Structure 1
Amino acid sequence: MQLHVPSRRLTGAPAFWAVAAVYLLVLVSSGVPSPLYRVYQEEFGFSSGLLTVVFAVYALALLASLLVVGALSDHIGRRPVLVVGLVVQAAGMVLFLLADGVGWLLAARVVQGFATGAMTGAFGAALMDLQARDRPLAPVVNSATPGLGLAVGAVGAGLLVEFVPAPTEWVFGVLTALFLLFAVGVLLVLPESSPRRPGARASLRPTLTVPPPQRRPFLLVMPCLAATWAFGGLAASLGPSLSAEVFGIDDHFLGTLGVAAINGTGVIASLAMRNAAPRRSLLVGALVFATGVAGTVVSLLTAWTWLYFLTAVVSGWGFGAAFLGSVAVVTQDVAPGSRAGLMSALFTFGYVSFSVPAVAAGVASGRWGLAATAEVFGVVVVLSALVAVVGLLLQQRRTAAPSLARAPADTPA
């Protein structure tokens, strides 16, 4: 006689939302340093150019991780990658706790970026693995979670800076404990959603894996991804400094509201457009985003604070809708064994757009000023978004033309 021992592992919707919760925590920690950059800048005395380098090393480390281990969970399983990544995240938080100079900040961000990159593909793929077939929520969660995490992290850290005597000790101490706790939770209760497959060692060669059926959709969404993520990178790295210099907002909490507005309304847009056709979401989002960023440029030229925050909301809504459409278009009908690699390629391109233009803006601001640099940056972003709109419309016209040609002619009665 055999005794049946019930499994302690989660299944179905609880497992899906558990993965989403862990993913959210990782991205909250990514947003935390944004309002602290000014604190560190004042404490350690470094320039805006070096500030964007501190910001960008996170994204560069994340990119390296995505390229090397981004597809690893397709071969060894999702759970081992997530457990190790969470432990490494905890180590990054300890480095932030010990930071007493720019070198420590750079090291902390490198460790944090590498851990986040290692987990990004696994998170995206696990959500696709665990979603209900009749309710495909993975594209919504994959597109909404980055914005929600960055917004919560930035606002939470901004509040701590204003109202808590030792904000860095509080925030990074709590995050260290949470990452270790979540690592144990993933190990003990999260199911493995992807079987082991051969080729783990070969997957470690730096490469971008976009399956042939997804290559044309990937090219289609690239201009929009570049525009939205570049603007997000500028807001995350220089947004608080821009608020202080152009609009005279010295309050750390208020300085983070522009960042929070962009990311928070992106979440609302993802939820509002979740039932829309992917290409429609992408098209509407790109147009709204371009309108919002154009308004932001006007606000910088006129120094109208109210317009700056209003257009941040508009840009964020467009960002969320466009990113939702991009993820849904690219991941449609992707094979299970290619999911982590494809999500890693998608986020690799996104984080390149997130980091490299922001570093260029930080360097340029030292010569031409922060406001002028942001204005030119905004114009370039608007043009890139409009290129995506034109590409979508031309692709729709090419798709519609053969359909009309094949339609049978009306036959008289």
Structure 2
Amino acid sequence: MALPLTLRSALRLQASLVLAFMAASSVPSPLYAIYRAEWGFSPATLTAVFAVYVFSLLLALLTLAPLSDHLGRRPVVLGAIALELLSIALFLGADSVGMLIAARLVQGAATGVALSVLGAGIADLDPRRAPLINSTAPLLGMCAGALASSLLATYAPAPLRLVYLLLFLVLLAQAWLAWRLPETVNARPGVLRSLRPRLAVAPNARRGFVRAMPLDIAVWALGGYMLSLGPTLARQITGGQSPLVGGLMLAALTGSGALGSLLLRARSARSLMRLGSAALAAGMGLVLASTFMPSAGLFFCGIVVAGLGFGVGFLGALRTVMADALPAQRASLMAAFLVLSYCAFSLPALAAGAAVTHFGLVATAQVYGALVMLLALVALLGTRAKAALRTAACHG
């Protein structure tokens, strides 16, 4: 049997797996225009396809997330990869909306299991850097997946097949390496009991969890809209019809978020939340302005600034939530935080998809953007109020 990976190699592999899973999750977004052209479905159906993925992911987080605390990290990582490979096989064979929904259903379960076990595994190996890795790797993954998908759809043959085939090969290679992951927790009884749907936020972590909620909801509400209806909005504002337009928009959003997180990682959690809130509100203001006076430059500028708020704000929120977590609480706390994030990711986007059929894409985007701005401003005021209270206490 091959020797286990070193701790450094194991950390890198788990970070790359987060990146791969999130890349796979964003690959379909730039392709929705092609699916719609071939199969003829509405924006409401599009957001339903998106919502199926997120609800499956949430169900996995609610039931399967604690599995790795009982069975060990490695077998659960391998199970998540197997599910993801099955979903990619379904994408490769998809010839109808029903097949697309089935693929997204399986992919959601795979991603939910993977994010919780990999997030906990990364924290096991490097607690200090885990929040940065767990916030940056998903953004880099979504950026890479959206950009690769749109580029291949525009310039390569078989736009609905080639990108999935490449993903399949990458995950196969990662699965081979994952057999060598060192185990970081001891198996313990209670597997069946752990499958009961529940959320567990330890008392010592609740204050940070509540403090991070407004900003976390704002950033993921933005992400959900942009991954479902964002490419269509980008094409309408810019006048471009290529899948590359949507891919570039998603890459600008997630790429600026990842870059901002890396550049500002030395800042405190409170400072990151304050900067993230301000950038998210400012970026959404620019995006809203671009819907009233259509401008590709203004739109992409707003997306980049909002993306900076997305990445920096999420890093600050994650650090705030995980700051007081004990090792035995990490998997369940990470799952609870991800449930919050993905509820914000899916429910508003689903409502927006229904609203588009009645009020139109641009009007829906304007209301949605205004609500995201409002949440970001609430989060900003909250961080400022906290800082003012602390200053008053020090001087008092």
Matched, 1:147 2:142: no
**2:322 match:** 331
Residues 32, 157 of structure 1: 8 Å contact kept: yes
Counterpart mapping for 1:170-319 below 5 A = 170-187=162-179, 189-319=180-310
Residues 249, 255 of structure 1: 8 Å contact kept: no
**2:108 match:** 113
Hey, what's the Cα distance between the residues in 1 that align with 2:333 and 2:281?
27
Q: Gapped runs of 5+ residues in structure 2?
A: none
Task: Tell me the amino acid that sits aligned with residue 282 of structure 2.
Answer: T
How many residues end up aligned between the 2 structures?
A: 396
For residues 23-48 of structure 1, the C-alpha deviation after alignment (integer angstroms, 9 at most, x for no partner) is: 11111111100101111011100001
Task: Tell me the amino acid that sits aligned with residue 167 of structure 1.
Answer: P
Q: State the 1:239 CA deviation.
A: 1.3
Q: State the 1:103 CA deviation.
A: 0.3
For the residue of structure 2 that corresponds to 1:168, the secondary structure is coil
Task: Tell me the amino acid that sits aligned with residue 29 of structure 1.
Answer: A
Matched, 1:58 2:53: yes
Hey, what's the Cα distance between the residues in 2 that align with 1:393 and 1:244?
37
Hey, what's the Cα distance between the residues in 2 that align with 1:71 and 1:337?
10
Matched, 1:82 2:77: yes
Q: State the 1:173 CA deviation.
A: 1.8
Hey, what's the Cα distance between the residues in 1 that align with 2:189 and 2:122?
22
Hey, what's the Cα distance between the residues in 1 that align with 2:230 and 2:351?
15
Hey, what's the Cα distance between the residues in 2 that align with 1:89 and 1:293?
33
For residues 144-199 of structure 1, the C-alpha deviation after alignment (integer angstroms, 9 at most, x for no partner) is: 11111111101100011111120222111222233233223211x11111222333
Hey, what's the Cα distance between the residues in 2 that align with 1:198 and 1:399?
44
**1:383 match:** 374
Q: State the 1:73 CA deviation.
A: 1.2
**1:165 match:** 157
Q: State the 1:244 CA deviation.
A: 2.0
Q: State the 1:245 CA deviation.
A: 2.2
Out of 130, 136, 142, the residue aligned to residue 138 of structure 1 is 130
Counterpart mapping for 1:353-392 below 5 A = 353-392=344-383
Hey, what's the Cα distance between the residues in 2 that align with 1:72 and 1:338?
13
Q: State the 1:324 CA deviation.
A: 0.6
Task: Tell me the amino acid that sits aligned with residue 100 of structure 1.
Answer: D
Hey, what's the Cα distance between the residues in 2 that align with 1:401 and 1:198?
49
Q: State the 1:211 CA deviation.
A: 0.9
Hey, what's the Cα distance between the residues in 1 that align with 2:347 and 2:324?
31
Q: State the 1:70 CA deviation.
A: 1.2
**2:27 match:** 32
Counterpart mapping for 1:91-110 below 5 A = 91-110=86-105
Task: Tell me the amino acid that sits aligned with residue 108 of structure 1.
Answer: A
For the residue of structure 2 that corresponds to 1:56, the secondary structure is helix
Residues 74, 338 of structure 1: 8 Å contact kept: no
CA RMSD of aligned residues (A): 1.4
- Residues 43 and 205 (structure 1 numbering): CA distance in 2 closer, same or farther, change over 3 Å? same
Hey, what's the Cα distance between the residues in 2 that align with 1:200 and 1:394?
43
For the residue of structure 1 that corresponds to 2:41, the secondary structure is coil
Task: Tell me the amino acid that sits aligned with residue 148 of structure 1.
Answer: L
Residues 22, 142 of structure 2: 8 Å contact kept: yes
Hey, what's the Cα distance between the residues in 2 that align with 1:286 and 1:103?
39
Q: State the 1:404 CA deviation.
A: 3.1
Q: State the 1:100 CA deviation.
A: 0.7
Larger Rg: 1
Hey, what's the Cα distance between the residues in 2 that align with 1:169 and 1:299?
34
Hey, what's the Cα distance between the residues in 1 that align with 2:40 and 2:207?
47
Please, what TM-score do these two structures have when normalized by structure 1? 0.93
Identity rate, percent = 41
Hey, what's the Cα distance between the residues in 2 that align with 1:336 and 1:75?
14
Please, what TM-score do these two structures have when normalized by structure 2? 0.97
Residues 210, 341 of structure 1: 8 Å contact kept: yes
Task: Tell me the amino acid that sits aligned with residue 107 of structure 2.
Answer: Q
